[in-house]
Structure 1
């Protein structure tokens, strides 16, 4: 698979190395499937320094480096059409989102598949304007799907925790340690610090509330929790407070 989300890697060509310009052109053609030479020159922001021969050279390099997995046809009037014999994560992701929007697939199944594909932002190490624009567009589409999943009571808690790893925007805010100690009394809770890597000494705690009404009271007072299910929430608390409570309970 051609992987453009989170990093660049081709499973079938593990040693493949592309220059910045080659990777921009390659990813653009993977997304667009066809383009004009002048169009590609413009997205490279190279029209002031180079001409179409520069793009032709890049296309030739791609054809050579990708060892037949990526075929480039340059037609009359300088139109580029590509074919590739291996899947690209970005194409599969777009198809999954489209299928979800047209209700051709079961929601939880689609969310799980999108979650497996979305390893991170689209080529996050490149600052090319087209790359950044497409990255933001894709992120907004994924965020829309994941936000529906996150607030859907039928989606399992373990999936929602994975969503938080990718899009911590779903997490609302940190709860005061005194409030945490108060509401955690009598409730089942566990440390879930593997969800995030907080440098400011904060820990994610999963709190299981037996009565949904109690959960509603917590949310109505502070609104500082992320909902996992009708009886489970995530709280962001000071690590020392969480460790202290966990130690006390283990002694008991």
Structure 2
């Protein structure tokens, strides 16, 4: 498998070395498959430093390095690619969809979660700073965080799986607020549904907790890896939409 999530790797090619721009180009080929060379020139953020010939050189070098795993063709300013191995970022959406579908029908098994965690070992090219990479990384994080936040609430989830999720998303510790805690917090909470977390994600929201007694605040944040304080007596927590809707219903009653 060709992996872009967490550490980059191609099958058993332990000695393969790609430059930053070669790696970005390979990732873009995996995502788009067919595109114009000007697109790659734009996302490499090299305007003013290099000509389009520089991108052609990157692709030429990349082809030579990954020819056993990926077929990259350049013709009349168009690029097409064919990956001979499976690619984690192409498999991920299908795995997420499969897990969500099984959750709806209460048919989720431990092996499904293990497969997902084996696939999403970390964020997309976390060691690279590039606008396109960061945007795509945030999109994948949004999708996976939404699913992980639901799985993390499951009473049947193993401790080992929880630890793996927390290593990737420490903020999951903030997302778990049970109904008994909500009842005690309902008088102190302002609800903002649909606030953005890692980009557009309507399944997550923000709880702004104000004027909460100190002892209750300490109990709430105990064990949390991250808490955002916006004032002396106000904190912000990321929670899933189910929790928010439960709180709204509770406040109405």
Tell me if both proteins adopt one fold, taking TM over 0.5 as the criterion: yes
Counterpart contact for 1:111–1:145, Cα < 8 Å: no
Give the aligned length: 182
Counterpart contact for 1:70–1:84, Cα < 8 Å: yes
- In the alignment, the residues of structure 2 paired with residue 70 and residue 160 of structure 1 have an alpha-carbon distance, to the nearest angstrom, of 35
Gaps of 5+ in 2: 176-215, 226-253
Q: Normalized against structure 1, the TM-score is what? A: 0.64
1:126 is matched with 128
Shift of 1:220: 11
Counterpart contact for 1:2–1:10, Cα < 8 Å: yes
Shift of 1:152: 2.0
Q: SS of 2:171's equivalent?
A: helix
Shift of 1:103: 5.0
Counterpart contact for 2:100–2:147, Cα < 8 Å: no
1:152 is matched with 154
Equivalent residue runs for 1:14-53 within 5 Å: 14-53=14-53
Judged with a 3 Å threshold, the aligned counterparts in structure 2 of structure 1 residues 54 and 8 are, in CA distance, closer, same or farther, namely: same
Q: 1:223 aligns with which of 209, 217, 220?
A: 220
Judged with a 3 Å threshold, the aligned counterparts in structure 2 of structure 1 residues 98 and 34 are, in CA distance, closer, same or farther, namely: farther
Counterpart contact for 1:111–1:146, Cα < 8 Å: no
Gaps of 5+ in 1: 174-218, 226-234, 238-252
1:71 is matched with 71
Q: Normalized against structure 2, the TM-score is what? A: 0.64
1:93 is matched with 92
| Deviation per residue, 1:205-243 (Å, 9 max, x gap) | xxxxxxxxxxxxxx9993356xxxxxxxxx579xxxxxx
Shift of 1:122: 1.1
Counterpart contact for 1:5–1:120, Cα < 8 Å: yes
Greater radius of gyration (CA): 1
Q: SS of 1:223's equivalent?
A: helix
Q: 2:166 aligns with which of 164, 167, 175?
A: 164
Counterpart contact for 1:70–1:83, Cα < 8 Å: yes
Q: SS of 1:171's equivalent?
A: helix
- In the alignment, the residues of structure 2 paired with residue 50 and residue 139 of structure 1 have an alpha-carbon distance, to the nearest angstrom, of 32
| Deviation per residue, 1:37-88 (Å, 9 max, x gap) | 0000000012323332221111111110113311112234x22110121122
| Deviation per residue, 1:102-136 (Å, 9 max, x gap) | 55995444332111112211111110111111111
- In the alignment, the residues of structure 1 paired with residue 81 and residue 171 of structure 2 have an alpha-carbon distance, to the nearest angstrom, of 37
1:231 is matched with none
Shift of 1:101: 4.5
